[in-house]
Structure 1
Amino acid sequence: MTKHNEPRPPTSDDAPKPAAIVETIAVPGDPNSLVMNRAGTRLYVTSATTGSITVLGTQPLRVIQTLTGLGSPIRIVISPDDSRVYVSDNSVATGTPINVIETLNNTVVKTITGLITVNGMARNSTGTRLYVADHGDSKLVAFDTSTYQRVSETPVHGPKDVVIAPDNTRAHVATDSHGWAIVDLASNNVTAYIGIAAGPPTAIAYSPRYPNLYITHRESGKVTVGNALIPDVSKEISNLEGPWAIAFNRLSEMAYISETDGRRISIIDTRLNRITGTIEGFDKPRGMVVAPDGRNLYVADIENGSVSMVRL
């Protein structure tokens, strides 16, 4: 007879479950990008075709509010204190504005102008600077987020996306013309151009665990992995179908690549920089974010107009 204080024998229910979609919600238009607040309770999802941002609650997934009249919102960044969301309006070929949304009332409080074509945005860790990859003007532009004034600009050939190093000393820019550009943020000068995989880059991301950068290339089906300390390319991950965005799990070694043409998400071991598995069930996954507790991944699917929650 089993004693009450003896450990219960393991059962099949105790085995780790594979990552899978557990919940999906429809949102207006064609969702492309999304960001999450620090608590993991709110998602802000851009839909360019309807000119809207959908605010979602996460547990369970539900629509809280839809903000309209935003032109063609594509790129989106949230401030470290969650008080503001910055979103580009790419409804015009030139003169892309950036709308500043106050999240307390979800209203536009400022529109930043003077840019040509916004192709990427990032903020520093303190939220005092917003950096914009102005592809049309071939510049990396910095704005003071307290005044919304332009405080610096650095010539960078064909910038497509930008990410800021965790110590706020450098900007890393994926470019059409010269690969990976490194900008010293003290002098606002380019200190290096480093060759990357062939084909135009799509997005750039910085690992929270290692000094590694990941640059996706949708057309060539590759991801360039760069060591930011050397700096140089350390690896290429190939045979992907339309790699788009990368999201990191801060509580594990895992990262996730949305393969927008492959209808799936690939799982990367960032210590070994190799694919270890896939998550199926999507149409055209684009933007992604991992919840702060590392348990769920949220994915914008541009093809079926939805956001999915994936159990990790």
Structure 2
Amino acid sequence: MRIFILALDDLWDTGLAVSLDAFALANSFSAQLMKGAPHFDVSVVGVRKRVRSRHGFPIPVQAISSEPKPDWVIVPALAKGTPEQLLPALQRPDVKLAKTQLLKWHAAGASVAASCIGTFVLAETGLLDHREATTTWWLAPVFRQRYPHVLLDESRILVSSGTAVTAGAAMGHLDLALWLIRTVSPQISSLVSRYLLADLRSLQAPYIIPNHLAQSDPLISRFEQWARENLKQGFSLQQAAKALATSSRTLQRRCDAVLGKSPLAYFQDLRVEHAQSLLHGNDADIESIAAEVGYADGATLRTLLRERLGRGVRDLRASLR
């Protein structure tokens, strides 16, 4: 498998490094255990001759030529963690050249992938339109508003959608590399994950901080504050809208546009977050915690935690200690 990693200036160091390390380990295990040639021919390429990482380290890049053609092109994350940094960066000349080059590679038959904030660069091409995708969770509201035709689900760590694959925040780079390795050899992928102490995860949901998502919109920010003050109460869209001096329809529409979910679903997110905090260092029984977050019984809370986080109460207590 021939892989091009498209390096742009001001790249997030860890994202590039962990991807290269994962593929290098895979090649090493392949040569040792399978007595064959390395499976992954990885090149770091750039649209500019000189590329530096966020910490100022020079990244040796190969010039892009018509041959050889890649099977996969990966776009790692730019080190632009806020909308104020990211949106101007997407207008840079090198990013626009990268967009054009990605379209050429894809037209020639290459599959494309991106992790974390690199998903924004990939989305700029339009190649994610009408496809399922994920992105770095704290920039999901910005992503959703900028690319309304992308079917975004930021709760997932990795989403494969035909010839495009996206991965979530930060260490999603490693999840993406492991996924690509697994398409060639599940055995090698398992070895790499063990050597790197990387659990095979499927959800970003346990890592999402709901109030970070709410800050991007004044109405949603006010709704979040109201919701936290009323977690013990049963949710009522009409009561929430009245308290915020808006209509139910407006609140519903803004939640969908900014968060990609209903007001009730976001209210439940906050309940899950608070329940997690109560499970941490707290020996209270599940019935008491359920009452604290507004549920009549522990069974309902157990079901919600498993649906949202993919873990039961016992696993959550163990992981939080």
TM-score (norm: length of structure 2)? 0.27
Higher percent of residues as strand:
1
Q: If each structure's helix is expressed as a fraction of its own residues, which one has the higher value?
A: 2
Structure showing greater Rg: 2
When normalised by structure 1's length, the TM-score is 0.28
